[in-house]
Amino acid sequence: MSITYLFCFRKFYSRNRVQPSPDKMNMFDRNIHFDSLFKFSQISRSTQLHLKNVYSSLALCMFVAAAGAYVHVITRLFQGGLLTIMGSLAMMVWLTMTPHCPQTEKKRLAILSGFAFFTGVGLGPTMDYIISINPSIIVTAFLGTAIIFVCFTLSALYAQRRSFLFLWGTLTSGLSILLLVSFLNMFLGSVMLFKAHIYLGLAIMCGFVLFDTQLIIEKAEMGDKDYIWHSVDLFLDFVTIFRKLMVILAMNEKQDNKKKK
């Protein structure tokens, strides 16, 4: 649940932080150019270099988050979860308040690593549950998440610029519905609502991969080269998809075990 709160905080804050100008955001320009299927002709060279930095930071985040999850599984660090949420939020706010410039780059990378570590620790309780069912689910979920993430990322990169930015309203509405369903289910305890929440959440996260990738490109084209901050969006997308896939695979595994019995 801590990952969900962080994700929602980041998305709603991100919307208020940058408002792309309407003249550069034609949502209905959907013509297809087949040359873009084979090269990123619509993305400038500087933005391509920016994306390399973003994905390098994303790789760092995933490595540190894996270390955080491993630390939790071995030591049961921060089992209550409250300290994990507070630590992640503190790191995110600190990163936000630290300006992006060459002098603060190393400091901001260290803050990003701290954020990723606390996020990984926050995944620990879910991983404990998965391990109790079948440890191989973690590997399967990670590979599945990687495939989903790569496919949707390439779709966003190869598609015409801005073609997926119209998804913002739909995705945020879906995110609001997920929060409402999650809140209601705290009192109802419905298995059907829980499953609907998981599967709908997975679909929404896939949409956010498309949206966030193209939004990062547009921000970079307009001069925002804060690759450290941009990597946070994609990192939270990846972690949320990974968590939901683990839960889905675990539910299916438990159902199969019941049928065998």
Domain boundary assignment for the chain = 43-256
167 Cβ contact partners less than 8 Å away, ≥ 6 residues apart: 207, 210, 211
DSSP 8-state code for residue 35: G
Q: What is the pLDDT of residue 27?
A: 35
191's tokens:
């298995």
Confirm if 91 and 119 have CB atoms less than 8 A apart. Answer: no
pLDDT at residue 33 in the model: 42
244, pLDDT greater than 80: yes
Residue 80 pLDDT: 54
pLDDT at site 13 = 52
Q: Given this model, what pLDDT does residue 77 score? A: 65
Looking at the predicted structure, is the pLDDT value of residue 175 above 50?
A: yes
Write b or e for each residue in 235-254: b if 16 or more Cβ atoms lie within 10 A of its Cβ, otherwise e.
bbbbbbbbbbbbbbbbeebe
**Which of 23-37, 91-105, 245-259 has the least mean pLDDT?**
23-37
Backbone φ and ψ of 165, nearest 5°: -70, -20
Predicted TM-score (pTM) above 0.75: yes
